[in-house]
C-alpha cells in the first residue's frame, strides 16, 4: 500500500470517527452532550473535515470523499487511473471510522430506544422524504462543496490555513443547506457507515433504509462534477 492509499484510508477514518462521533454524542441516550443540537453537529463535522485534511493532506491531497476524487478527475486535475484506489481507501476508511464510533459509544446503544437515532449516527436520512427534492439537496450541497474547494485552491493562504478554510466551507454548507437531508455530500461518508450499521451487533437498530441509500451516493458525485466543471469553465485562468 502506498502513501496515498494510507492517507485516504486513515484520513477518512478520522473524518468519520469525529464526524459521526459528534452525531452519536448528540442523539444517543446518556452522553454528556445529549440533545446539544444541530449547531454542535455542524461544528463537529466541520472540525472533523479540517482534522482529516490536516492528517492526510501531504500523503494523498486529502480528498476523503469519492465525489471530490471523481470531480477532480472530471476537471482534469487528477488521474483517472488513481480514482479506483482512492475510492477503495475512502470506503474502507469510512467503515473503519464507523466501527470506532460504535466502540466509543458502546454502552449507549442499549440505552437508546430510538432505532432512527441509532441509524442517524451512521448514515443520513431526509427530514421530509421526497426523492426528487432529496436528490436535488445532495446535488446542490456537493456542487457548493466542489465549487468552494476549487475556489479555495485558486487562492493563496498562509501555510496550514487551507484545511481550516475547507472546514468553514463545510460548516457553511451544514448550517445553510444541511437541514433537508443531513448533508452527506460524500458517498463514502454515507455508504461505508451504512454498511457498518448493517453488520454491527447494535441492539434494536432497525433497518438500513437501502431504498434511500443511492441518493447520498449519486447526488454528491453528479453535484461534485458539476461544481468542479463550473469553476473550471467560468473561473479558471
Backbone φ and ψ of 199, nearest 5°: -90, -35
How much is the pLDDT for 216?
Answer: 98
Residue pLDDT, tens place only, 221-235: 999 999 999 999 998
Q: Could you identify the residue written with the cell 473524518? A: 15
CATH of the domain at 138: 1.20.1080.10
The mean pLDDT value for 165-192 works out to 98
Domain containing 76 equals: 3-234
Residue pLDDT, tens place only, 112-171: 999 999 999 999 999 999 999 999 999 999 999 999 999 997 777 777 899 999 999 999
Start-to-end Cα distance in the chain: 36
Picking from 63, 59, 37, 67, the residue whose alpha carbon sits closest to that of residue 49 is: 63
How many whole angstroms separate alpha carbon 191 and alpha carbon 200? 14
Tally of structural domains, the chain: 1
Amino acid at each position: 500500500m502506498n502513501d496515498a492509499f494510507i492517507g485516504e484510508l486513515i484520513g477518512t477514518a478520522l473524518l468519520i470517527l469525529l464526524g459521526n462521533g459528534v452525531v452519536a454524542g448528540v442523539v444517543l441516550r446518556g452522553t454528556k452532550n445529549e440533545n446539544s443540537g444541530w449547531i454542535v453537529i455542524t461544528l463537529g463535522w466541520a472540525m472533523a473535515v479540517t482534522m482529516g485534511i490536516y492528517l492526510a493532506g501531504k500523503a494523498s491531497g486529502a480528498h476523503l470523499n469519492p465525489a471530490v476524487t471523481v470531480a477532480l478527475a472530471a476537471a482534469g486535475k487528477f488521474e483517472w487511473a488513481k480514482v479506483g484506489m482512492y475510492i477503495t481507501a475512502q470506503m474502507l476508511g469510512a467503515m473503519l471510522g464507523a466501527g470506532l464510533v460504535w466502540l466509543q459509544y458502546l454502552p449507549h446503544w442499549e440505552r437508546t430506544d430510538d432505532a432512527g437515532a441509532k441509524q442517524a449516527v451512521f448514515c443520513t436520512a431526509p427530514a421530509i422524504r421526497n426523492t426528487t427534492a432529496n436528490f436535488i439537496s445532495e446535488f446542490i450541497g456537493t456542487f457548493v462543496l466542489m465549487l468552494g474547494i476549487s475556489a479555495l485552491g485558486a487562492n493563496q493562504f498562509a501555510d496550514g490555513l487551507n484545511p481550516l478554510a475547507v472546514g468553514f466551507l463545510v460548516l457553511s454548507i451544514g448550517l445553510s443547506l444541511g437541514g433537508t437531508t443531513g448533508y452527506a455530500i460524500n458517498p463514502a461518508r454515507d455508504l461505508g457507515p451504512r454498511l457498518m450499521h448493517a453488520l454491527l451487533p447494535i441492539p434494536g437498530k432497525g433497518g438500513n433504509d437501502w431504498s434511500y441509500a443511492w441518493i447520498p451516493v449519486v447526488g454528491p458525485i453528479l453535484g461534485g462534477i458539476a461544481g468542479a466543471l463550473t469553476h473550471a469553465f467560468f473561473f479558471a485562468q
